[in-house]
Chains A and B, each alone.
Chain A
Amino acid sequence: MTCTQVREQLGGYVLGALDPAEREAVAEHLASCPACAAEHARIAGLPALLEHAEGLEIPAAPRAVEERVLDQIAHERGVERHARRRRRALLPSLGRGRALLAAAVAGAALGAAVTAIALDDDPPGRPPSYELALRGSGGASAQAKLTPGHGGTEVHLWVKGLPPGGEAVYEVRCERPGWSASAGTFRTDARGRAYVVLTTAARLGEYERIRVVRRPDENLVLSGELQ
C-alpha cells in the first residue's frame, strides 16, 4: 500500500469502518511510516470527542429571547441614564431640568402606592415613555413602561411575586371608570415572574390606571394608577 492509498483509508480506519483486511493493512503501514502515523495521530482523538455529540441537534435560537435581551438592555440603559440625570439634576439647583411627572397616590383597589415617572431620556420631538409601578397583594409587584405607538400604547411589563408557574393566565387592562381596553394576556414562569411586551389600542391619556386580572375569575392581582 502506498502512502496516498493509506491516507484515504485513514478516515474509515479511525472510525472503525474498514473491512478487517483493510484495517490490518493500514495498521501495518502506520507501524512503519512515521509521516502517515503523524497524519493518523491528528485525527485519532476525534471519535472520542464525537461520542459526546451523539444525538445532539442544534436547535433554532428562540427569537423571543433575542427580543427580550434587547428590551432588557434598552431598559437598563434607560434606567442608568435616568439615574445619571437625576443625580445631575439634584446637584446645585433642585428645580433644574424638565419637571417630571412624579406622584405617589393611594391606589383605590389594593391600597397601592403608585409612582409614574416620565423617562427623560427620550429624544426631543418624540412622546415620552412613562414608567409605572403596580402593586398587588402577597408581595406581587410589576413595573410597566408605556410607550405611545401607532394607534395605541406599547406596554412592557416586568412582573414578579405572582404564584409560580401553573396554568394561570393573566390579562393586562388599561382602564378609566366605565371604560376598559385589553392589552393582552401572559403567564408566569416557574418563579412567578414574567416579562412581556404587549400592545393596546388604548392611547396614553385615554386611561388612568392599569390593572392585571387573573382569567377567567377576574380576580384583581396588580394595579397601578397614572397621574
Chain B
Amino acid sequence: MKVFITDGTAEAFFTAVFDAYCERDCIISSDRQIQLALDSQTVCVDKDMQKCQRVLSAVENCDRYAADDLVLALRSCNPKKEQIAFDYIKKLLQIKRPIRKRLSLTEVIALNNLLYKVTGEAHRLKGLLRFMENADGILYAPYSPDNNITDILMRHFAERLKCERFVIHDVRRKIAGMYDGKSWIMGYADQAEICLSANEIAFVNLWKKYYKAVNIEERPHEKQMKGSMPVRYWKFLPEKQQ
C-alpha cells in the first residue's frame, strides 16, 4: 500500500490526488505521525502546478463549486481530512455529476462534517475574536483556533473595519493576517510585542464591568454558556480573565 505524504497545502494535495488516482489501494495524508502498515511505502509529494490544474479542472467539470468546498475542508484540523477529500473526489469523478445533494452517501456526509466544523468555527470566532488597540491605533487580535481559518476572518474584518489597521494572529500556527486600511496579506509571525494604547485598559475594564452587570444571577445556566463558548477559547477573552 502506498502512502502519499503532502506538506498540508491544497496544491500538494491535488498533486497527490493526481498521483494516487490510479493506485488501487493508497492513503493521502499530511500527518507526519501517521501509523504505517507493514507493507506500506511512503511517497513524499511536492506541489506540481500542472498536475494540480488537471485535477482541479476534472473536478470542476463535474461540479463547479466542489473545488471551493474541498479547499475549505482542507483547513480542518482533522488528521484524516486529505483522505476524506480524496474519497469525495473519487466518488465525484465516478458519478460525473454534482454529488453535494446526495446526502446519504458516506463520502458526502464525511466531507460535510468537515465543512460544518470549519465554517462553524469561523462563524463562532467572528464573534469571539478580541482586538486590543496598541499605542499607534493598530488593532491586534491573538487567538488559537482549531482549524486554519485566519484568512476567512481577515475577509470578514476587512469588510467590517474598513478604515482601521489590524492584525489577526494565529498563535498556534504562527501565521498572521495584516490589513493596512486598503488590502490585506497573510504572513509568518512568530511573536508579537504589543504596547497597549492609553485607553486600552480602561475599555477592557468597562467591558468586564458590563459583562458582569448584564448577567441575570437568578437564572444560572453555566452549561449553556460553556456549550456556546467553549472553555478553550477563554484564554483570549478579556471578560473571562480575573
A binds B: no
- Please list the residues of chain A having a beta carbon within 8 angstroms of any beta carbon in chain B: none
Contact surface of B with A, Cβ cutoff 8 Å: none
